[in-house]
Structure 1
């Protein structure tokens, strides 16, 4: 286990740091001192050899003073009294003549959603390399058509301390581990790719267990072989059935970002001003929940010190909540929801998703597919783009099938789903009873910052989406 991160005991006196923070936030409405240490290791085994083995360590702090819509922020890689003093003077500039009343701080919590063991130290380096080598050999032994294998093992530990002007001090230790397998198959001159992976806020033990990585490798091969038989996707407006789990990434992008507080406060979201109104079909309930134990998107506390929460955003089709950090919550006259997140000490917090998912319904997934007369069954997704102002999205499918008269037919390649989040929510015609979360592979980008997230949903039928493909009808 690593040496505990205790910046106030080893780098700077807590009373001194608190005095500097209070000087920066005198007359402000909010602020904090955020200290962080992060270590990460990534091993990539590609085409029969170690392609990359990297280890990174960083630490630093960020000091923020907030007044109204303005935030002064300064950060440094040097954790010292002199550096914090300089940062205090810089952040203080945003407060101006003061006059603000300091907002009440977050309630403390003793809850822990994950362990604090260092995943990097969870296995010897040689064991990690041997595991990747075994994955490569196993994949090639499964099928002679496998021509290339790439396996990645990543582990990290983030340790944070948050000091608030009222003297509240919050700490969190956040482990993360992930295994990914990607491979390429070739047949008759045609090459296709398949990939699978996952992880969460836990150690490496489960990921390097052969029972786990063999299943991941088999699934990556299955997807590649499906794509090897895929036909060009049709194009046109048609009904679409989405599979459970990872297809929730469409919900995350097309709907989730539009429910973040800052976009709604600035009225740049397609959902701005719709609180209390019916924005989705009856039966649709969407949550953002940072309290799920060991999940990739979970956080015991957010990066402002607010405990994470199970926040209902849409209930039975009606918009009932937004995701909030402290600044936007205060400006909108509501309570923070534990969604103030930042990529690192060098970034300012903002409203961000954690684990965003739709609750299951009553329909049997078999019946949902049987009700699809002419459309696409989308099981896996790759990249996508979304315009927050109008909710319009474009998503590419990595695994999809043609369906006619309720019968799942040939896999299709090159399918993209095009629509807008608000309309898609209204056009949900059936909700499965098979809600599932993704395997732990999500990352979310916003304003240049990346944070780990989770998604999930049950099987869904959505009417009238535009499918972009290689052929008409």
Structure 2
């Protein structure tokens, strides 16, 4: 196969030299800003009821041009990469008033590569992707006679981005992303229950095609569904909750993570605003955001402003240490950008966003944490939830949970929801397991109408006095 420079997809009707010159002309009056170029191709397969139901393929390209002056942003975008379109967008940039602030310096460059730049979509033929979905469907149905329905989703994307600044800085990133989802519905005595599994990351399809991977997915989805067949109504009331490792970190992401993003704190609307250096969590709790983990779904070699990602310590041993920052909010707050300036696509302006956000491991044995629970629940996996970003108040539904009595896991429960607020929950953690795990790579984070891939993680956590919503008497 002949190698083609990924940047060639950006410069079919434009040259790098002209892009640089146009950016310099358009942003010469601004404190900060960039020309963000993007080419992206995506595909998705949906296999349901024993047959291929959907198959889609799409390519798109465009740019976003942004000028920043003080707190004011001018932004224009177009779905074509041409000199004429950039010139038209540059007319919007003239609407900003130059501030007296010093021109923001360019990001620091990096030679890091956190993932392959190979396009996953081209390496495996269409028929083999469909065959994988069909194979998973057949294997899941053969696994247990109670399996009534199987849904398989396979998707991939490949994106080339380039950030061009008026000061001559140029940074390029090539981003693969793949994902496999399995959903199994089981039926017994007229009752139906569902189990799910998902896995993905910034790598090639080959990992998902490994038999051990998709067979594990079938087992986990099936086990969750079968457990739920035997579930009883969840109790309600305030009780002790043992929260499992890995994907349950999504509760941390939503209830706490957004409140640690720079824009909310600059505006004073977060529960954590103005509290750096204060104790905001129980001793032992350390929470970080790290976009520099190889191959992870939420990772980026550089963010969408060209800043290299890194580990950013947010809370250390219960003390608030910092926030996640894009360039604009960092500059206005007198802080350093942390590589958290993210955007859904060229058609969106960047804002502070999480990458992989997680709580680090503690020293407690998870079995010992379980033994401390006299009466409570074990929340092993979560589904959807609702969160008020400003206050951190949340309602999260459990997709797999169990009663705990006298330190022993009991009956599975259905309809359990966890209700509380992130800042308070942080103070009620009384045990932190030594079994830290990241999620399998399925998260999508929404904010301001934009969705971006994100990662979560945590060890087993013991939380006292958390409100559980259910359908049975407490």
Q: Which residue of structure 1 aligns with residue 233 of structure 2?
A: 232
Aligned to 1:429: 430
TM superposition shift of 1:27: 2.7
Q: Paired residue for 2:102?
A: 101
Query: Contact (CA 8 Å) 2:9, 2:39: kept in 1 or not?
Result: no
CA contact (8 A) 2:20 2:168 kept: yes
Matching of residues 328-367 of structure 1 within 5 Å: 328-367=329-368
The aligned runs of 1:239-318 (5 Å cut-off) are 239-318=240-319
Q: In the TM superposition, what is the alpha-carbon distance from 1:7 to its structure 2 partner? A: 5.7
1:34–1:62 CA contact under 8 A, matched in 2: yes
Q: Give per-residue Cα distances to partners, 1:236-258, cap 9 Å, x unaligned.
A: 00010000000000000010000
Secondary structure of 1:132's counterpart equals helix
Q: Aligned runs of 1:151-166 on 2, under 5 Å? A: 151-166=152-167
For the pair 1:73 / 2:43, whether they are aligned, the reply is no
Which residue in 1 is equivalent to 2:38? 36
Per mean C-alpha deviation after superposition, the further-off stretch among 290-299 and 79-88 is 79-88
- C-alpha contact 2:10 2:39 (8 A) present in aligned 1: no
Which position in structure 2 is the counterpart of 1:58?
A: 60
> Are 1:231 and 1:413, in contact at CA under 8 Å, matched by a contact in 2?
yes
Cα displacement string for residues 120-179 of structure 1 (whole angstroms, at most 9, x for unaligned residues): 112111111111111011000000000100001111101101101111110000000111
Query: Does the Cα contact within 8 Å between 1:270 and 1:388 map onto a contact in 2?
Result: no
2-structure distance, mates of 1:287, 1:314: 7
The CA distance in 2 between the partners of 1:321 and 1:151, in whole Å, is 40
Cα distance in structure 1, aligned partners of 2:41 and 2:210: 23
DSSP-derived class of the 1:203 partner: coil
- Aligned to 2:385, the other structure's residue is in SS state strand
- The 5 Å alignment of 1:112-127 reads 112-127=113-128
- Given that 2:31 and 2:98 are in contact with CA atoms closer than 8 Å, whether structure 1 keeps it comes out as no
Query: Which consecutive residues of structure 2, in runs of 5 or more, have no partner in the other structure?
Result: none
Counterpart in 1 of 2:379?
Answer: 378
1:146 equivalenced with 2:155 (yes/no): no
Q: Secondary structure at the match of 1:280?
A: coil
Are the equivalent residues in 2 in contact too, given 1:444–1:451 (CA < 8 A)?
yes
Aligned pair count reads 472
Using the size of structure 2 for normalisation, the TM-score is 0.98
Q: Secondary structure at the match of 1:335?
A: coil
> Which residue pairs with 1:326 in the alignment?
327
Per-residue CA deviation, residues 35-80 of structure 1 (Å, 9 max, x unaligned), is: 0001011011101000100001110000000011110000001111
- 1:27–1:102 CA contact under 8 A, matched in 2: no
Superposed displacement of residue 24, structure 1: 2.4
Q: CA deviation digits over 1:294-323, x for unaligned, max 9? A: 000000000000000100000000000100
> Does the 8 Å contact 1:181/1:197 carry over to 2?
yes
Alpha-carbon shift at residue 15 of structure 1 (Å): 3.1
Cα distance, 1:9 vs. partner? 4.6
In the alignment, structure 1 residue 444 sits paired with structure 2 residue 445: yes
Matched, 1:397 2:398: yes
Residue 214 (structure 2) pairs with residue 217 (structure 1): no
The corresponding residue for 1:202 is 203
Q: 1:284 to 1:365 in 2, by over 3 A?
A: same
Distance 2:80 2:58 in 1: 17
Coordinate RMSD, CA, aligned: 1.1
1:430/1:461 contact within 8 Å kept: yes
Distance in 2 between the 1:463 and 1:91 partners? 53
Matches of 2:391 and 2:219 in 1, distance apart?
40
CA distance in 2, matches of 1:466, 1:381: 15
CA offset at residue 28 of structure 1? Answer: 1.5
Cα distance, 1:101 vs. partner? 2.7
Distance in 2 (CA, whole Å) between partners of 1:245 and 1:167 is 42
Distance 2:311 2:386 in 1: 27
1:217 Cα deviation from its structure 2 partner: 0.7
Q: Give 1:19's aligned residue.
A: 21
Question: Alpha-carbon deviation of 1:441?
Answer: 0.7
- Secondary structure of 1:226's counterpart equals helix
For 2:11 and 2:349, how far apart are their aligned partners in 1? 25
| Distance in structure 2 (CA, Å) of the matches to 1:335 and 1:53 | 43
Q: How far did 1:89 drift?
A: 1.3
